[in-house]
Copies of this chain bind each other. A is one copy, B any other.
Amino acid sequence: MKNTAVLLIHCADQKGIINAVTDFLYKNDGNIIDLDQHVDQESNRFFMRVEWDLSDFKIPKPKIYEFFDTLVGERFEMQWDLNFTEHKPRMAIFVSKMSHCLYDILQRYQSKEWEVEIPLIISNHPNLAYIAERFEIPYHVFSINKENKAEQERLEIELLRKHQIDFVVLARYMQIISPDFIKEFPNKIINIHHSFLPAFPGAKPYHQAYQRGVKIIGATSHYVTDELDAGPIIAQDIARITHNDTIKDLVRKGRDLEKTVLSQAIWNQLHYNILAYNNRTIVF
């Protein structure tokens, strides 16, 4: 088990940022495991991810936040986030009726591909409860309609808070999340959409793809924002198709993309590799 800290930073680009951060770490005996930075020339914004070993680090964990803020963060007017790998991220899964992403996630979870806790699964349908049962994860059904949506989402948020959920994964959850819900988890709700966005947003993208006669289909994982299927893109992948592929074939081939692309996003979320800014992501 790793005992490291991960800093995700962004601020206006300026001289000396990397030096200041590495100075802070070096002088306190923090051994850098990984450092990556990026400057967006368009917005003149600096982005950085640095991970260091805490074994010999002189500043005690609870004090790192304060020290870094005072010595580095404020000086460069940084926006930053600090995480410790000793904490196992807590992830909630939302599903509807399709099982492929759910099974794929739970297999990775059970085989320890990921360091993650999955305290609960939430659904608007009871259909997949049997799978949750097999993996011994509590399965909560919140059936949603126009009338009860606000109230049901309130209860969901409460449940997520109670379980100290760090982020939410919509594993082919066929319900639009309302802005009030999203506000509670900014850049913490990951969706998988079954097209290479921005092509074919909204309903039935495989049907749209078939009608348009594309030769390539795709899948896109992204953070959920108020605008449907328009949030910051985390990962995308594609598959080649031909005129021989029916809509049913597209759906079938697309499922494999959905599984892989959603898992890539979760992997990066679990490793604090993602910074979202201006509706784009930096994936270190």
Residue numbers of A with Cβ under 8 A of B are 15-16, 18-19, 22-23, 25-26, 29, 31-42, 47, 98-100, 103-104, 107-108, 110-111, 113, 134, 196-200, 210, 212-216, 218, 232-238, 240, 242-244, 246-247, 252, 255-256, 259-260, 263, 279-283
**12 A-B contacts, Cβ less than 8 Å apart?**
A19-B26, A36-B37, A40-B243, A41-B246, A42-B246, A100-B108, A103-B103, A196-B214, A216-B238, A238-B238, A243-B283, A256-B260
Q: When the two chains form their complex, are residues B240 and A214 in contact, meaning their CB atoms are under 8 A apart?
A: no
Cα A203 to Cα B12 in complex, Å, equals 31
Q: Which residues of B contact A232 (CB under 8 A)?
A: 213
Q: Which residues of B contact A39 (CB under 8 A)?
A: 33-34
A215, closest chain B residue (CB): B236
Q: Which residues of B contact A36 (CB under 8 A)?
A: 36-37
Cα A16 to Cα B242 in complex, Å, equals 25
Cα A110 to Cα B37 in complex, Å, equals 33
Q: What 3 pairs across the A-B complex have the smallest Cβ distances? A: A213-B280, A19-B22, A19-B26
Least distance between A268 CB and chain B CB atoms (Å)? 11
Other A-B pairs, 8, CB within 8 Å; known A15-B29, A213-B279: A16-B26, A19-B19, A19-B22, A23-B23, A99-B110, A196-B214, A213-B281, A216-B236
Least distance between A262 CB and chain B CB atoms (Å)? 11
Cα A280 to Cα B212 in complex, Å, equals 7
Which of B111, B215, B282 is in CB contact (< 8 Å) with A233? B215
Cα A199 to Cα B218 in complex, Å, equals 12
Which of B38, B243, B255 is in CB contact (< 8 Å) with A244? B38
Cα A255 to Cα B84 in complex, Å, equals 27
Q: Which residues of B contact A108 (CB under 8 A)?
A: 100
Q: When the two chains form their complex, are residues B213 and A216 in contact, meaning their CB atoms are under 8 A apart?
A: no
Cα A134 to Cα B132 in complex, Å, equals 11
Least distance between A225 CB and chain B CB atoms (Å)? 12
Least distance between A150 CB and chain B CB atoms (Å)? 31
Q: Which residues of B contact A215 (CB under 8 A)?
A: 233-236, 283
